[in-house]
Structure 1
């Protein structure tokens, strides 16, 4: 049902049936037939008066009664055959109006034929059916319009509904206005529209006027006393969201956006519902839009194969498991040393967190013997290595822990994978491995080199993937800012000029899956992450969204941190031979026999071990 042009009077404003469904034809459809019958009678009488130029005494009243009876019978028969009185079309919609014209034309033709064939009996002029047609059509449409206005007037939101402005007077904006006005349970009451198109300056949608352009937003908010602004654009650009956010800063108005159109269509709805609205998220403001890399087109190496994921209880590992499950692997093995993380992942995938099946494995990648035994028993064919330690500052204090997990742990997984005959191996790295300056960066750089060395020994698809900061992952900057704002601040930023790259968790996992298919042995794959984002800008926008007065404190760069992260290191080419959004580069190999903890600790984690 099109929200902007139809309403069902058998439903109340909340969308529930006001009367049982079985009573709907009797209460609405058949009553409408009575109105249509009256419309035909009035139209025929009016046509006769006009035809005889007000000389009523010349009209054959007996013939008029018969002629009206024929009109009513024809309207019923034709209306039923076209489902006009069977509830097929939404009441008062454009579809019903089109059908009404068709039915009226057919009935008029029948009346014309009757007046021609039986003129000597009923003495009704042949033109009466034609003259009556526009009047009957107009009267029937009028009754529907009046009934629709009555229903809509009863379905308006209550006094508790929030006064709402809608930015965008297109199809989606019109649909939202129609839904808000027609639903008495709506939490929003539209008080105005905003649109930058000059042609819509005087437009009204369901009596709601366009009040101005986006730059007029502050004055419009003050004039209408609106407390909610809905951005009625699917897939709205981040720059537009930032502009809106800046304009309403400090005005105590909640900004809502809609999910991408493909998500709304995937739910099977005919338009945006109130449950689709969500508040502006940080990813809307920082300009990170997911890159669709069509992982489903290259995931044939997963379907029907045994797949193992290390670090399956983490942010990246858990989402990776959820995406991999969609490609129907023969077996999905989720490995982690965090039992709670494993349970959370299993619960999100199966709805149960019993931890009794063979899909969850509790093990530590530092334990080489246990890991080797698991691989030899389960014989995975595809491995995604997501287990790692990742906090820069903490690993600067405890570099030996980075050595044990990120270096030796990765080596243990690689050795076990080779022993089990794994054909596809994807090591998850980080942008900090490009020209590394921190213990984390150096440890992940060594993991890339170990992966490249193992690829040279097996000639199989052993590759690495570099990420920037992942929005929403555990321990990342954005959740930290959210918590600092929640407790009243201050927000801590290392330096006013520091920048970082961002990507979403689903996007990161798509890259991992794609890498396993298109990566050549030993390569490192890097997603095009757009422009780096200034951290101070993110902090300031999050503060503005919260409506709180939060202080920003600059702490200075911590040991090992860069002012600006890099994706491609010195001497790396970053060519894109297969996908316009994915760069390929290579790293030198490192034979595990050259790994040396003493040198690692002596050099502070420098990769030349």
Structure 2
């Protein structure tokens, strides 16, 4: 390899790096300087140069060639760092040309001192040469565009977003050989973008026109080329895409784009979290979680999906003691791994106990005397409790009463009972038993000086036994994927959101209240199922099984008789629950209901 094609450099560790050199562009730039210098002198002297003037032209051309190479190398202009005709290359070229021109002017002053000619003529040479160098790069860019022919197998794609992200992405898609996606149009709601065109890819309309443009362009994919797309926007686009059997892709988060730029391979499938239809809620727990610092905290159901993450988050606030209670030893090991990084199960922080056992619960509380209790232990599967209602009563009602009585006996200051949206206007054993637990928690709050309150969850995405892992397993098995009803909807929240709600409730809730997170609009289960199937790339059948006993088509967050009011946090509302003791609650086996 010649010196023109590669240069060896030694880095700080003594390693030799090879830097590629692009000679042809440099040759074109030399030619531009030569043409500009020769043309300027010929025109000024009426195409008749004396020998001394010819020598001066040769000297200036050599100076310009040497300076262009030197300054161009420093600006990485000939080291293949820039795309042809890109803004970065133009910026580097301008810096190099002006530095070269200044060098040439100085050389002209020295060499042309004895020759009768205006030195200022050199100043006219710089913009002339620069214009020609711009032209060579523009021609090179046009040649690249002419060679950019879509692969027959490339997916016809609409790009949503004609801003910096979208236009850069299209350049990459068009100029990358073998790209899987070929842009056939852009969409943007901004009026000023209506005539934008990038590599012959035009803005065809707005996002509201997406259905018609999919058909018009024959698109099979839609790319959301917005660095931080909103959840409602993604949800709307996905709904349209599902209707027209079109795949949706999104780009990585903005901070990743800023670090390494945009590439066609960055496109990813829209995630299930994207379909929540809202931004994740951050309740700024750090601002109010001081009540956990230095306190003795006890968590029941600590081995569950929510309980284990809750324990992990609590540990960040440095409680004096964190007692993790569960009847599942494997779950306790998982929780300990998340909190302490080990699963030895040999310390007193992990307690194997069943909340149905009142004696064991009372001894546990007397031994550790917690100040804060988060009650997450429960049976939660609706169809199972419809079959075994007595089990739901024993755990969700009697078990909760055992924990409440033990807490009151040792003077627990804060008690947060984790409930469910199925407790609002209940129609199932799960809903009635959790509603009863809310009544009992409110009643115990009247009997003590502590804060005894509840929180209601929607469906928690990714929790053990929830929809997401169930659908994933069914898809892995080849289907069919079962849904109770095509119109069924649910409120969704993530596990971090659920844990933040619990910790916030302990800080801002009042006795007898039920705290409810703003979970946006309910999401249709069928849409999530279709998206997960599309992401899998498999042909999975969807089977409708019909609503199960006690199951609702649409969930409620509050009962008809409850008044919703704001809390101290703008994303959390609250309602009051009537306090009822266990003697005021009647279990009716025949109708599988808990009545008051």
TM over 0.5: yes
Which residue, 458, 463, 466 being the options, matches 2:453?
A: 463
Moved more, 362-371 or 326-335: 326-335
Residue 566 (1) aligns with residue 553 (2): no
Asked if the contact 1:459/1:521 (under 8 Å) is kept, the reply is no
Residue 215 (1) aligns with residue 207 (2): no
Partner of 1:170: 163
Q: Secondary structure at the match of 2:380?
A: coil
Asked if the contact 1:157/1:183 (under 8 Å) is kept, the reply is no
Alignment of 1:516-595 (within 5 A): 516-532=506-522, 550=541, 552-553=543-544, 555-556=546-547, 558=549, 560-562=550-552, 564-591=554-581, 594=583
Cα offset, 1:49, TM superposition: 2.2
Moved more, 155-164 or 327-336: 155-164
Which residue, 494, 500, 518 being the options, matches 1:504?
A: 494
Structure-2 separation of matches of 1:367 and 1:60: 107
Q: Secondary structure at the match of 1:293?
A: coil
Asked if the contact 1:190/1:208 (under 8 Å) is kept, the reply is no
Structure-2 separation of matches of 1:146 and 1:322: 60
Cα offset, 1:29, TM superposition: 7.3
Residue 22 (1) aligns with residue 10 (2): no
Which residue, 280, 283, 303 being the options, matches 1:293?
A: 283
Structure-2 separation of matches of 1:335 and 1:53: 99
Which residue, 180, 192, 202 being the options, matches 2:184?
A: 192
Partner of 2:436: 446
Structure-2 separation of matches of 1:184 and 1:369: 71
- 1:454-487 per-residue CA deviation (whole Å, 9 max, x = no partner) reads 4344433332101223334334456556666765
Alignment of 1:327-346 (within 5 A): 327=317, 333-344=323-334
Partner of 2:119: 126
Moved more, 543-552 or 365-374: 543-552
Moved more, 99-108 or 465-474: 99-108
- CA shift in 2, pair 1:241/1:190, >3 Å: farther
Partner of 2:229: 235
- CA shift in 2, pair 1:272/1:323, >3 Å: farther
Residue 434 (1) aligns with residue 424 (2): yes
Residue 255 (1) aligns with residue 243 (2): no
Moved more, 151-160 or 42-51: 151-160
Partner of 1:50: 43
Partner of 1:5: none
Asked if the contact 1:64/1:124 (under 8 Å) is kept, the reply is no
- CA shift in 2, pair 1:346/1:215, >3 Å: same
Cα offset, 1:606, TM superposition: 1.9
Cα offset, 1:576, TM superposition: 0.3
Partner of 2:10: none
- CA shift in 2, pair 1:368/1:159, >3 Å: farther
Asked if the contact 1:336/1:361 (under 8 Å) is kept, the reply is yes
Structure-2 separation of matches of 1:406 and 1:479: 24
Cα offset, 1:528, TM superposition: 2.8
Query: Structure 1 length as normaliser, TM-score?
Result: 0.77
Structure-1 separation of matches of 2:547 and 2:175: 55
Alignment of 1:65-214 (within 5 A): 65-72=58-65, 74-75=67-68, 83=75, 90=82, 93-116=86-109, 119-121=112-114, 125-141=118-134, 164-181=157-174, 188-197=180-189, 203-206=196-199, 208-210=201-203, 214=210
- CA shift in 2, pair 1:536/1:249, >3 Å: closer
Cα offset, 1:406, TM superposition: 1.3
Structure 2 spans left out of the alignment, 5+ residues: 7-14
Asked if the contact 2:77/2:89 (under 8 Å) is kept, the reply is no
- CA shift in 2, pair 1:346/1:164, >3 Å: farther
Asked if the contact 1:166/1:190 (under 8 Å) is kept, the reply is no
Structure-1 separation of matches of 2:353 and 2:233: 45
Structure-2 separation of matches of 1:91 and 1:541: 36
Asked if the contact 2:220/2:247 (under 8 Å) is kept, the reply is yes
Moved more, 313-322 or 147-156: 147-156
Query: Structure 2 length as normaliser, TM-score?
Result: 0.78
Asked if the contact 2:416/2:502 (under 8 Å) is kept, the reply is yes
- 1:414-436 per-residue CA deviation (whole Å, 9 max, x = no partner) reads 34445665443321111222243
Structure-2 separation of matches of 1:182 and 1:339: 56
Cα offset, 1:437, TM superposition: 3.6
Asked if the contact 2:333/2:343 (under 8 Å) is kept, the reply is yes
Structure-2 separation of matches of 1:195 and 1:267: 21
Which residue, 395, 400, 404 being the options, matches 1:405?
A: 395
Structure-2 separation of matches of 1:344 and 1:331: 18
Asked if the contact 1:112/1:128 (under 8 Å) is kept, the reply is no
Structure-1 separation of matches of 2:95 and 2:531: 56
Partner of 1:493: 484
Cα offset, 1:336, TM superposition: 2.5
- CA shift in 2, pair 1:31/1:504, >3 Å: same
Asked if the contact 1:211/1:220 (under 8 Å) is kept, the reply is no
Structure-2 separation of matches of 1:378 and 1:124: 99
Cα offset, 1:525, TM superposition: 0.7
- 1:58-82 per-residue CA deviation (whole Å, 9 max, x = no partner) reads 76123234434444565566667x7
Cα offset, 1:389, TM superposition: 0.5
- CA shift in 2, pair 1:392/1:341, >3 Å: same
Moved more, 532-541 or 471-480: 532-541
Structure-1 separation of matches of 2:368 and 2:172: 54
Q: Secondary structure at the match of 1:121?
A: coil
Structure-1 separation of matches of 2:342 and 2:417: 29
